Chain A
Amino acid sequence: MVSLQLDHVFKQYGEKTAVNNISLQVEQGEIYGLLGANGAGKTTTMRMVLGLIYPDGGEIRYHGKPYSNELTRVMGYLPEERGLYPKIKVSEQIVYLARLRGMSKQDADKSLRYWLDRFEVPEYYDKRIEELSKGNQQKMGFIAAVVHRPQILILDEAFSGLDPVNVELLKATVKELRDNGTSILFSTHRMEHVEELCRRITILHRSNTVVQGDIKEIKSRYPREEVVLHTVGEVERLESIPGVKSVERNERGYQIKIGTPDTAQLILQHAMAQTAVERFEIKEPTLNQIFIQEVGESNE
């Protein structure tokens, strides 16, 4: 079932096109990745989905219907700049936000306590936001986005600024939400999170869609051009194998760039003829590599 559908959505700010004809579908229980460098149009796209700004062209449908005020109850949003009142207690403001989205006070309070326990920080209930660290403020922002059990969840750079432990915690939570049927639109410029969480992605570059589709399928479209070889002894004359572009030695073995897939087999035979092979892998391109190739710019 399609929860969220963007159809040739277009947005212009003055002369500048912010989002150019983006189309995508998020299904129920799916985490959809929206990728791109800073200023590529991710946040603008999300704001249009939220109804914060209106598209200049195209259409956005939620469960098949256009935007309406009732949607505020089923949507959750974590903005990139966390959006919470610094001087107000966690409990007060999150319960307030949940009530604005149609929850009862008791229900909201119960849900908040559940989430605080889930993140193992029940003591934050009575703390003011400004007393918390950046990472913990972000967790509170996340709770504010999910406290009313939204069906459609918009996460803008949800993991930025978190330490590895909290990234894992949040990742696990996001997966759990997905498994419970929440549709999640997830933006980031960190590729490693996407490969773990998302099935389908859209890469935006300067307002345009440059790559779109299933991650596995996207990867299969790009040739496998890298071989990892770990061996017991030395392997001589790897460079002389036809099709090998470059060889890089590291502590464990070799990283070899190749031109055609057939070359990989030649490398394996060549190595086995000389010594015992511990590891041999024809690596599929990482999203990061694809991204750099497509966007033609370095990405952090």
Chain B
Amino acid sequence: MSNNLGTIIGFTFKNKVKTKSFLITTLVLAILITIGMNVPYFIKQFSGGDDGPDRIGLLTGSGQAVASELEKYAAASGNKDYTFVKYEGNAEEPLKQDVKDGKLEGYLKFEEDPADSSFPKVVYAGEGGMGQGLSTYLQGALQNVKTAMIAKDALTAEQIAALNKPVSLDSLDLSEEAKANAGGDTEKERNQKIMNYVTVYFLMILFFSSNMMTGNMIAAEVTAEKSSRIMEILITSVKPLNQMFGKIIGIFLVGLVQIAVFGVVVVANLMLPNNVGMLQEFHLSLTDLNISVLLYGLAFYIVGYFLFAVLYAAVGSIVSRTEELGQAVMPITMLGLAAFYIGIFSISSPGTMLIKVTSFIPFTAPTAMLVRIGMGTVPTWQILISLALLVVSIIVFGWLSAKIYRTGVLMYGKRPSFKELRKAMKAYKI
């Protein structure tokens, strides 16, 4: 009997991987990933980084002083993306014309600010608003110019530079016993933290998306077997528990294959010459990867998967027709969404009561505990308790789901009520 499980896993896996829908979905997603990863590069290409800096006109008018300071600042800062072009006088028309002709990206004009006599009001005019990068640049440049103009010669250049330097605000988690040594994190530790953040984020998205995808696959398979009545033959051949777990494991393997394909696509894309610089830009390096976070993450990923999968199988068995499935799996989808969002929203505050409590609730533990492990601190015994709770709930819900499965697959027509299910479940061994 026990080798039945292997037979079912093999059959489920082989036939799922071969289906057109699976091949197409995987291919489409792989293409989307490839496109998504190369979009930043293409945007850079098309936004014309090559044809010199964007020219910003300056309508000096009443702001002669400011315009000169801006030019000085731009020259000193060495920024290659933007350059200022002075237009003397008050006539706005030539500037407008140049913007129209594409000679200028836009222009700045200076107006008297009735509320503030020390510095004029600056207006940017251009076709289609101001981009994020330009806005940041102009803000910084004007702030510098303002400081320099107000301070005049009262301060030295060093003092002005010091004033303009942003204040550094670091957070230090006091519960981190080991890191209580003052002075904050070293460079290495900071990088590890960023890497942990990336790992946790990535694992949560992986957990959520593969759970949704494979979960729906499981439910759909069960419903299809039920509606084609092949279930009647299967139930008389194999124990429902074997049948259910054979299916779940088979589809889990399908999911792993899909993830592996995506992984290869991601790595291949990262190795493209245009993307090689990206990782360095974010100061990410695989050597900073925290192995224990990854291992715990995978452990929670697997047990979490099985917990959700048995529920999907149970729901699939209750529904008679594939069309009704979407509605029936809603509650489980909601549960998955809750787990995902609790994790995502707590990633920057891993010490709240919410995340502590949810890290012990089996359905939310895979994400909540992962956040605590990766981003905060958590004693090992708490991790183990959470894992143990998950395993126990897999056994409990697995058993319950197998009962529902055994009962549900023979119920046709309308969806059975809880009362009917309970009554029928008492009758069947699994």
User: In the complex the two chains form, is B236's CB within 8 Å of A53's CB?
Assistant: no
- Interface size class on chain B is 20 to 34
Q: Which residues of A contact B236 (CB under 8 A)?
A: 50-52, 72, 75, 77
A-B contact count, CB below 8 Å?
Answer: 62
User: In the complex the two chains form, is A97's CB within 8 Å of B228's CB?
Assistant: no
Is A87 interfacial (CB 8 A cutoff)?
yes
Given B15, B225, B237, B427, which contacts A97 in the complex, CB threshold below 8 Å? B237
A100 and B427 contact, Cβ closer than 8 Å, known pairs A72-B236, A86-B228? no
Is B334 interfacial (CB 8 A cutoff)?
no
Docked complex: B230-273 residues within 8 A CB-CB of A: 230-239
Docked complex: A11-60 residues within 8 A CB-CB of B: 47, 50-54
Given B1, B232, B239, which contacts A79 in the complex, CB threshold below 8 Å? B232
Given B15, B232, B428, which contacts A92 in the complex, CB threshold below 8 Å? B15
Is A222 interfacial (CB 8 A cutoff)?
no
Given B7, B15, B231, which contacts A100 in the complex, CB threshold below 8 Å? B7
User: In the complex the two chains form, is A97's CB within 8 Å of B233's CB?
Assistant: yes
User: In the complex the two chains form, is B8's CB within 8 Å of A100's CB?
Assistant: yes
B240 to chain A, nearest CB (A): 11
Given A53, A79, A99, which contacts B229 in the complex, CB threshold below 8 Å? A79
Is B4 interfacial (CB 8 A cutoff)?
yes
Q: Which residues of B contact A83 (CB under 8 A)?
A: 228-233
User: In the complex the two chains form, is B7's CB within 8 Å of A99's CB?
Assistant: yes
User: In the complex the two chains form, is A84's CB within 8 Å of B230's CB?
Assistant: yes
User: In the complex the two chains form, is B233's CB within 8 Å of A77's CB?
Assistant: yes
Given B14, B19, B427, which contacts A54 in the complex, CB threshold below 8 Å? B427
B interface, by DSSP: helix, strand, loop or mixed?
helix
A76 to chain B, nearest CB (A): 9
Q: Which residues of A contact B232 (CB under 8 A)?
A: 47, 50, 52, 77, 79, 83
User: What 0/1 readout, one digit per residue, does chain B (1-18) give for beta carbons within 8 Å of chain A?
Assistant: 100100110010011000
Instruction: Tell me, in angstroms, the Cα distance from A145 to B229 when the chains sit together.
Output: 13
Q: Which residues of B contact A280 (CB under 8 A)?
A: none
User: In the complex the two chains form, is B15's CB within 8 Å of A88's CB?
Assistant: yes
Docked complex: A118-155 residues within 8 A CB-CB of B: 144-145
Q: Which residues of A contact B239 (CB under 8 A)?
A: 69
User: In the complex the two chains form, is A72's CB within 8 Å of B230's CB?
Assistant: no
Instruction: Tell me, in angstroms, the Cα distance from A145 to B15 when the chains sit together.
Output: 21
Q: Which residue of A lies closest to B3 (CB)?
A: A99
Q: Which residues of A contact B235 (CB under 8 A)?
A: 52
User: What 0/1 readout, one digit per residue, does chain A (74-95) give for beta carbons within 8 Å of chain B?
Assistant: 0101010111111110001000
User: In the complex the two chains form, is B1's CB within 8 Å of A69's CB?
Assistant: yes
Q: Which residues of B contact A84 (CB under 8 A)?
A: 228, 230
User: What 0/1 readout, one digit per residue, does chain A (213-234) give for beta carbons within 8 Å of chain B?
Assistant: 0000000000000000000000
Given B1, B11, B228, B428, which contacts A96 in the complex, CB threshold below 8 Å? B11
A63 to chain B, nearest CB (A): 17
Q: Which residues of B contact A205 (CB under 8 A)?
A: none
Instruction: Tell me, in angstroms, the Cα distance from A79 to B225 when the chains sit together.
Output: 13
Instruction: Tell me, in angstroms, the Cα distance from A54 to B19 when the chains sit together.
Output: 36
Instruction: Tell me, in angstroms, the Cα distance from A129 to B19 when the chains sit together.
Output: 15
Is B410 interfacial (CB 8 A cutoff)?
yes
A156 to chain B, nearest CB (A): 10
Q: Which residues of B contact A88 (CB under 8 A)?
A: 15
Is A101 interfacial (CB 8 A cutoff)?
yes
B147 to chain A, nearest CB (A): 72
User: What 0/1 readout, one digit per residue, does chain A (221-256) give for beta carbons within 8 Å of chain B?
Assistant: 000000000000000000000000000000000000
User: In the complex the two chains form, is B233's CB within 8 Å of A87's CB?
Assistant: no
Instruction: Tell me, in angstroms, the Cα distance from A22 to B428 when the chains sit together.
Output: 21
A77 to chain B, nearest CB (A): 6
A102 to chain B, nearest CB (A): 8
Instruction: Tell me, in angstroms, the Cα distance from A81 to B228 when the chains sit together.
Output: 8
User: In the complex the two chains form, is B230's CB within 8 Å of A96's CB?
Assistant: no
Q: Which residues of A contact B225 (CB under 8 A)?
A: 85
Q: Which residue of A lies closest to B237 (CB)?
A: A100
User: What 0/1 readout, one digit per residue, does chain B (193-237) give for beta carbons within 8 Å of chain A?
Assistant: 000000000000000000000000000000001001111111111
Q: Which residues of A contact B19 (CB under 8 A)?
A: 87
User: In the complex the two chains form, is A72's CB within 8 Å of B228's CB?
Assistant: no
User: In the complex the two chains form, is B238's CB within 8 Å of A52's CB?
Assistant: no
Instruction: Tell me, in angstroms, the Cα distance from A101 to B237 when the chains sit together.
Output: 6
A33 to chain B, nearest CB (A): 21
Q: Which residues of A contact B234 (CB under 8 A)?
A: 97, 100
User: In the complex the two chains form, is B228's CB within 8 Å of A100's CB?
Assistant: no
Instruction: Tell me, in angstroms, the Cα distance from A52 to B406 when the chains sit together.
Output: 9
B244 to chain A, nearest CB (A): 14
Q: Which residues of B contact A99 (CB under 8 A)?
A: 4, 7
Candidate in A47, A52, A81, A92 with the most chain B CB atoms within 10 angstroms: A52
Q: Which residues of B contact A92 (CB under 8 A)?
A: 11, 14-15
Instruction: Tell me, in angstroms, the Cα distance from A140 to B410 when the chains sit together.
Output: 23
Candidate in A88, A100, A101 with the most chain B CB atoms within 10 angstroms: A100
Q: Which residues of A contact B228 (CB under 8 A)?
A: 81, 83-86
User: In the complex the two chains form, is B7's CB within 8 Å of A82's CB?
Assistant: no
Docked complex: B105-155 residues within 8 A CB-CB of A: none
Instruction: Tell me, in angstroms, the Cα distance from A100 to B229 when the chains sit together.
Output: 16
Q: Which residue of B lies closest to A75 (CB)?
A: B236
Q: Which residues of B contact A144 (CB under 8 A)?
A: 233
> What residues make up the interface of B, taking CB atoms closer than 8 Å to A?
1, 4, 7-8, 11, 14-15, 19, 225, 228-239, 410, 427-428
- A-B pairs, 7 with minimum CB distance: A83-B229, A100-B237, A83-B230, A81-B229, A50-B236, A96-B11, A79-B232
Q: List 29 A-B contacts (CB under 8 A).
A: A47-B410, A51-B236, A52-B235, A52-B236, A52-B410, A54-B428, A72-B237, A75-B236, A77-B233, A81-B228, A81-B229, A83-B229, A83-B230, A83-B231, A83-B232, A83-B233, A84-B228, A84-B230, A85-B225, A86-B228, A88-B15, A92-B14, A96-B7, A99-B7, A100-B4, A100-B8, A100-B238, A101-B237, A145-B233
Contacts A75-B236, A99-B7 known; list 19 others, CB within 8 Å: A47-B410, A50-B232, A52-B236, A54-B427, A72-B236, A72-B238, A79-B229, A81-B228, A82-B229, A83-B229, A85-B228, A87-B19, A92-B11, A97-B233, A97-B234, A97-B237, A99-B4, A100-B234, A144-B233
